[in-house]
Structure 1
Amino acid sequence: MHALQGSLFDQTDEIRLGPLRGMRRTDLGAGAWVDHLPGWLTGADALFESLAADVPWHAERRQMYDREVAVPRLLSYYRAGEMLPHPVLTEARTALSRHYADELGEPFVTAGLCLYRDGRDSVAWHGDRTGRSATEDTMVAILSVGDPRDLAIRPRDGGPTLLRLPLGHGDLVVMGGSCQRTMEHAVPKSTRAVGPRISIQFRTRGVA
């Protein structure tokens, strides 16, 4: 794993969340939208180091067509009711549940973590359509720490990329409305020399 290149703009070990005002919403059409707030978390490099060391990361293998392949990232998952690996993640989940209460109508309850070790780690085009999100509008909120990696979003039936956001160093993105059903998102591989990144995905009940 490459070494993390710290942010020049976040030189503090105090890990804390900022306010959620200033969120910018992009309407993607077909009932889908994305909210984006750069630098929601300060002390993001310190949180990265804590999570990289303390989270029980594991590798997975998945069936793809006629062969089994390694998932190109490390994973960890925290079910509803399980203690999260750092108090600020619990605080973030609570703040997001409160902020989106009127639109979402329910709290975020789970947390999935992904560790992208370098530019070879990635996520292919997909929507989070396992469970209720296959038929219902929902939200997925992602907090990123570490070196920025692009999150790309395009229509599910193909077509050009509608949005590409470099996420890292405490950035927040929330995909809402019909986004998981009508859009796909990916973290493409990078040929650039990039350091590691951790994303924390908060989801509601019955969404994966």
Structure 2
Amino acid sequence: MDFQGTLFADDVDTAFGAPERTPLARGAWIDVARGWLPEPDGVFDRLVQDVPWRTERRQMYDRMVDVPRLVHTYMIGEELPHPTLLEARRALNKRYLQELGEPFMTAGCCYYRDGRDSVAWHGDRIGRGNTHDTMVAIVSVGDPRALHLRPRGGGESVTVEMGHGDLLVMGGTCQRTWEHAVPKVAQAGPRISVQFRPFGVF
């Protein structure tokens, strides 16, 4: 469990900046930190090359279709593909462990190859996220893409431009009372998002 190793080392504070919190409706909130991840170029290159990317397929009406992005998840105990991601998870646990009540343990990766790749409106509500407050921390590397959030059932939406090395943390009731999406765009270069989650949240 790497969150115990250098979790409280002073150098974690100096390498990773402090996010700024924005309250949302219904008990949800987001934290955003620009340029949060050190040396994002090297992280992006390593992820492209070394992550065992795969295509998911999903039932849509009467046929199976490819999910429009590549994916892979690093489960508990699996080595992350770049040491900076290990330090990032330690930094996240140092900042959020007391508020969250448990550490971030898994790392889901999504590879948006161009503007045609996307993710539809959803909340991470499989598992405990369906009934309990939790957090999902997203680190973005590569070409900027807009992440949109909207209240479930309607209401004013929020857009966060996720740039190279940026961090977005969704917390409070966000997964239960809000949805988020990365829509298709006319033009975009490759982007990878890494989603750190507690155990049992998908």
Q: TM-score, normalised by structure 1?
A: 0.88
Distance 2:123 2:66 in 1: 20
Say how many residue pairs are matched: 191
Please, which runs of 5 or more residues in structure 1 have no aligned partner? Answer: 1-15
- Say if 1:57 and 1:75, in contact at 8 Å, map to a contact too: yes
2:188 maps to what in 1? 194
The alignment status of 1:139 with 2:130, answered yes or no, reads: no
The alignment status of 1:129 with 2:125, answered yes or no, reads: yes
Cα drift, residue 94 of structure 1: 1.3
Q: TM-score, normalised by structure 2?
A: 0.90
Superposed counterparts of 1:118-197, under 5 Å: 118-161=114-157, 163-191=158-186, 193-197=187-191
Q: Kindly provide the amino acid, as one letter, of the partner of residue 28 in structure 2.
A: A
Distance 1:156 1:69 in 2: 26
The alignment status of 1:117 with 2:97, answered yes or no, reads: no
- Say if 2:13 and 2:91, in contact at 8 Å, map to a contact too: no
> In structure 2, the residue corresponding to 1:100 is in which secondary structure?
helix
In proportion to residue count, which structure has more helix? 2
Structure 1 stretches of 4+ moved >4 Å: 16-21
Distance 1:102 1:34 in 2: 17
Please, which runs of 5 or more residues in structure 2 have no aligned partner? Answer: 1-11
> In structure 1, the residue corresponding to 2:189 is in which secondary structure?
coil
1:98 maps to what in 2? 94
**Structure 1 residues 198 and 136: CA distance shift in structure 2, 3 A:** same
**Percent identity, aligned pairs only?**
62
Cα drift, residue 113 of structure 1: 0.2
Distance 1:58 1:143 in 2: 20
CA-based RMSD: 1.5
> In structure 2, the residue corresponding to 1:186 is in which secondary structure?
strand
Distance 1:85 1:21 in 2: 22
1:8 maps to what in 2? none
